[in-house]
Amino acid sequence: MSSSPSTLSSRPNFQLSERASGVLLHLTSLPGPHGNGDLGAEARAFVEFLAGAGQRWWQMLPVNPVGPGFSPYSGVSAFAGNPLLIDLRGLVEEGWLDTSSLASALPADRADYPAAQELRTAALRKAFARFSERPDSHVDALAEFRERAAFWLGDYALFMALKRAFAGASWTSWRPELARRDAAALESARAELEHEVRFYEFEQYVFDRQWQSLRAFAFERGVGLIGDAPIFISHDSSDVWGNQESFRLDEQGEPTHVSGVPPDYFSQTGQRWGTPLYRWKVLKRQGYRFWIERFRTLMERFDVIRLDHFIGFARYWEIAAEQETAMNGRWLKGPGSDLFEAVEQELGTLPFIAEDLGLVTPGVRRLRRRHAMPGMRVLQFGFGGDPRENDFLPHRYIRDCVAYTGTHDNDTSVGWYEDGGDEAGPRSREQAERERAAALRYLQGPLASAPFISIHWLMTRALFASVANTAIVPMQDLLGLGSESRMNTPGRADGNWLFRLDPSALTAELVQTLRALTEVYGRCPPSDS
């Protein structure tokens, strides 16, 4: 079922320097009966759809375990895999679960994370009980996985076991000797909670097996996987608990300063993310081992990794923890090339995309270029409201970039186009109308009097026709879906990450249309064109 990560070495058509295209869709957005999409049959069907349509890339959001709010950008570990993505039907095939455990099919129109968590956790515990009865056939594979994940697995499994023992409370409220990681206390807890620790190791072993199986399936069909790495890490995580000296915390373990960005297109008061900031000097003294191992883990799962908030590696916005918004902060210098040179020395060429949206300085551009990372262009930003708007228009693209109609943080293209604006929102009614007129003028050009082509196909066509080596379109845009299908609205606490793909959406007509567009603009894999 599994394939060792070492057997999935890169091949030429998985390089960002090649002209290609792909689709952005998170795993949780796939169809399926268990509350959210996962690594099962629907994921393979999506790979088949991409391959049939001539697409070379499947981009998704972070796949780490999620915390409160179920945001993939606020996980309890930057290393572990999300157990909500485990395919329960795969556990039946392994002989670890009976089909009766899957009898509760959940609604598939929107993600229902609480129900999915309840169902999946119960099923995984049953599977672990059966696995524990006869683990002999997995001894070698489990040992290999533990060795490969040694940097993070022990801390993560103990953290999760302790978190359950303390009814989900933040690690700063645990007994002081456990919060400050007294060696004797940790050894005692590990012995006392051995069964729970083994369960969380089992979850990660299963996730890894299923992930490598899907990756091998995609590899064989010429589809590469693009992952996503948030720069900052949640405070209530195994990573911060296990590496307290590397984060800006007070004596009680609480953050003294937190992350965010100043006021921007998305918010008039900025975005206060609330995650603790790094002690970069400490990380440097440690040889950036934390980041090297983090990137090593990501490169075992993905062919390319998008570095979310790449700007933060050059400079980052510091907000005092007591501040309620991101308005009052200051810029501080990030680790820059020093970090990436250390990673390159150990891991080789870095297959990274730099998410360089926002307040991009010359220093950010130099850092990206020095390490040969393509930046991003977002077509929606090309029609007003962004100081770099000309750079976001396709005729201004460069080859060394990854172009999108929109990202997970944007409205869908149809939703953006049809939005009438709001004086209290990020753009006024007058600005929305100006952007709509500018989009039509640009996208239809001299064909403005011709019958109107759907805005999402106009934008996709413009993207594919550009010189950008890589063009990525969110699945919602390929389907022409409206704002109700938006994945995330920055600054909004509820109602995000819920989009699910209709099982009937991947039609033969869509495959033919997307493939034809891909062929016309020379983005099909060489063997397919």
Q: Which residues are catalytic?
A: 308, 355, 409
Q: Tokens representing 380? A: 């929606």
Q: Which residues pair with 319 in a beta bridge?
A: 258
The per-residue DSSP string of 226-267 comes to EEEE-SS--SSSHHHHHTGGGB-B-TTS-BSEEEEE-SBTTB
Query: Alpha-carbon distance 85 to 81, whole Å?
Result: 8
Count of beta carbons in the 10 Å neighbourhood of residue 419: 19
Q: Tokens representing 124? A: 């995984």
Is 57:470 a contact under the CB 8 Å cutoff?
yes
Query: Alpha-carbon distance 108 to 212, whole Å?
Result: 25
Is 37:500 a contact under the CB 8 Å cutoff?
yes
Query: Alpha-carbon distance 142 to 470, whole Å?
Result: 37
Place of tokens 């590899």: 219
CA angle 75, 181, 196 (to 5 degrees): 60
Is 475:453 a contact under the CB 8 Å cutoff?
no
- Between β-strands 315-320 and 257-261, what pairing exists: parallel, antiparallel or unpaired? antiparallel
Backbone angles phi, psi at 364, to 5 degrees: -65, -45
3-state DSSP assignment of residue 426: coil
Name the helix (H) or strand (E) containing 376. strand 375-378
Q: Tokens representing 346? A: 């150990």
Of 252, 239, 324, nearest to 278 (Cα)? 239
DSSP tag of 497: S
Of 20, 46, 21, 25, nearest to 474 (Cα)? 25
3-state DSSP assignment of residue 441: helix
Of 210, 223, 315, 304, nearest to 262 (Cα)? 315
